[in-house]
Amino acid sequence: MHDNLDINIEQLSKTEGHADLEVKIRKGKVEDVKLKISENKRFYTQAVRKRHYSSIPQFVSRICGTCSIAHLTCCIKAVEKCLDIEPSEQIQIQRKLSVYGMMIRDHALHLYFFCLPDIFSKDSIFDFDSSKDNLIKQAFAVKSAGNNLSKLIAGRAVHPTLQKIGYFSKIPSKEQIREMIDQLKKTREHVFELIELFYNSNFEFSRETNFIALDSKDYSFLDGSIVTSTGLKVKEEDFWNYLERIIIPYSQATGFKFSTKEYMVGALARMNLNKDKLYIDSKKELNQFLKVFPSNNIYYNNLAQAIEILHCLDHSIQLLETNEFKSQSPPKLTLKGERRGIGVIEAPRGTLYHHLEINRASKVTYANFVIPTAQNQIKMENDIRLLLPKILNKQKHEIYHELEKVIRAYDPCMSCASHFLKLKWI
């Protein structure tokens, strides 16, 4: 038992971006916990002002390398609202496929490379012995399927080039689609092994949580209302009215509360609130695993991510097999006076909100971006505070590891989180 202990983890590992953790234990009690998102701000909220609206989606894609497709898609949605553009059914299908590719790649990276070392008590995949070679091959096969799907549909998996306001500038050939379907089908079996691994893991940290997610009717991450575990249903454009920015002076990211309380967004929230909408073929085969949801166990966030990979593979196969893709022309972009547009989607790490206001001269006058990891920040820090008393009897290095592990379960992305500070500190 540690009566007095100072923990200072500089740069948490196996996460996207930079964050530090400081803990102070005195007389066996948790005196202070500071989760500091230390990613240096790049001021996108300010930088988009005075720019022409048509340049914003590609620009804000640079907020984040790993989920650039999420920022691009969400921002295009906000701009299209300003321009009264209603995307055609085909475009909506292409966007689903583009986002599915990102989800597969992004979740696979987190699960195989950041979380599996914890399950096998290793520091990294570089420390795995040859008995795990097959699993590593599966990991790269799954990641590669997601990467290639985004490349095929959106041009690139990172900062995609084909996905534009109101259209896609190139469509895949029939031959490419056939090859893609084959690759996705071959990848399926690997995902069951991944799901089993996270289902059988005995990691647990549970506490009552208000979960929040979009209730897309086909679990496609792109539309629906915002729903909560407490039973609220909120329109996309009203989300901001329920949010409260919380200034955390030592963090370069703002925290958020929903209706004055902490909450969580992400795969666990989606699975808890919307598992009935998963693709029918996936659902049939996942019955046993889906029974654990709804769950408050933060480590089931990773099981939920693994299940989402299978859903994305299966729904992509169906969409590619049953749709014809026709070339599209760019729409005429007409702005009818000053406008406000709000886009909301589910990014890999949870609900993402882009709000843009545009003046008559087509320039952005105001932007507000609400990022999943920033929304989870308060709950992550409180988890650490509540977990510590349970693990203070462990060795110091084990405590370090347990703390990193619980933060990692959220799959936080600090690169995204740190760019949207309020203008005045309290």
Partner 1 sequence: MKLNVGWFSFTCCEDSTIVFIELMNERFFEWRKLINFKYFRTFKSNNSIDDLDIAFVEGAISSRKEEETLRKIRENSKKLVAIGSCACTGSPANQRNFFDEKTKNEIQFILDRFNHKEFVLPLSDLVKVDDYISGCPMDEKIFLAKLDQYFKEFELINA
Residue 270, helix vs strand vs coil = helix
Indicate the helix (H) or strand (E) that contains 35.
strand 29-37
- 78 near 342, Cβ under 8 Å? yes
Q: Which is nearer to partner 1, 133 or 338 (CB)?
A: 133
Cis check: omega of the bond before 294, within 30 degrees of 0: yes
Task: For residues 62 and 72, give the distance between their C-alpha atoms in angstroms, rounded to a whole number.
Answer: 9
Q: How far is the CB of 268 from partner 1 (least distance, A)?
A: 23
Q: Which is nearer to partner 1, 113 or 199 (CB)?
A: 113
CB-based contacts of 175, cutoff 8 Å, min separation 6: none
- 101 near 147, Cβ under 8 Å? yes
Q: Which is nearer to partner 1, 37 or 197 (CB)?
A: 37
- What b/e sequence results for 126-151 when a residue is b if at least 16 CB atoms lie within 10 Å of its CB, and e otherwise? eeeeeebeebeebbebbbebbbbbbb
Task: For residues 110 and 118, give the distance between their C-alpha atoms in angstroms, rounded to a whole number.
Answer: 12
Q: How far is the CB of 418 from partner 1 (least distance, A)?
A: 10
Q: How far is the CB of 263 from partner 1 (least distance, A)?
A: 26
Q: Which is nearer to partner 1, 283 or 408 (CB)?
A: 408
Q: Is 321 exposed, middle or buried (0-12, 13-18, 19+ CB in 10 A)?
A: exposed
Interacting residues toward partner 1 by CB under 8 A: 11, 13-18, 39-44, 46-47, 49, 59, 62-66, 68, 105, 109, 113, 123-127, 133, 136, 140-141, 143-144, 147, 157-159, 249, 252, 404, 415, 421, 423-425
Q: How far is the CB of 65 from partner 1 (least distance, A)?
A: 3
Q: Which is nearer to partner 1, 140 or 192 (CB)?
A: 140
Q: How far is the CB of 13 from partner 1 (least distance, A)?
A: 4
Q: Which is nearer to partner 1, 277 or 401 (CB)?
A: 401
Q: How far is the CB of 157 from partner 1 (least distance, A)?
A: 7
- 229 near 222, Cβ under 8 Å? no
> What tokens does 82 get?
């300003």
Q: What is the CA radius of gyration of the chain?
A: 21
Task: For residues 63 and 48, give the distance between their C-alpha atoms in angstroms, rounded to a whole number.
Answer: 12
Q: How far is the CB of 68 from partner 1 (least distance, A)?
A: 7
Q: Which is nearer to partner 1, 49 or 360 (CB)?
A: 49
CB-based contacts of 304, cutoff 8 Å, min separation 6: 266, 267, 268, 270, 271, 293
The length of the chain in residues reads 426
Q: How far is the CB of 12 from partner 1 (least distance, A)?
A: 8
Q: How far is the CB of 153 from partner 1 (least distance, A)?
A: 16
Q: Which of 97, 67, 44 is nearest to 158 (CA)?
A: 67
> What tokens does 221 get?
């991450």
Q: Which is nearer to partner 1, 105 or 107 (CB)?
A: 105
Q: Which is nearer to partner 1, 375 or 418 (CB)?
A: 418
For residue 297, the 8-state DSSP code is B
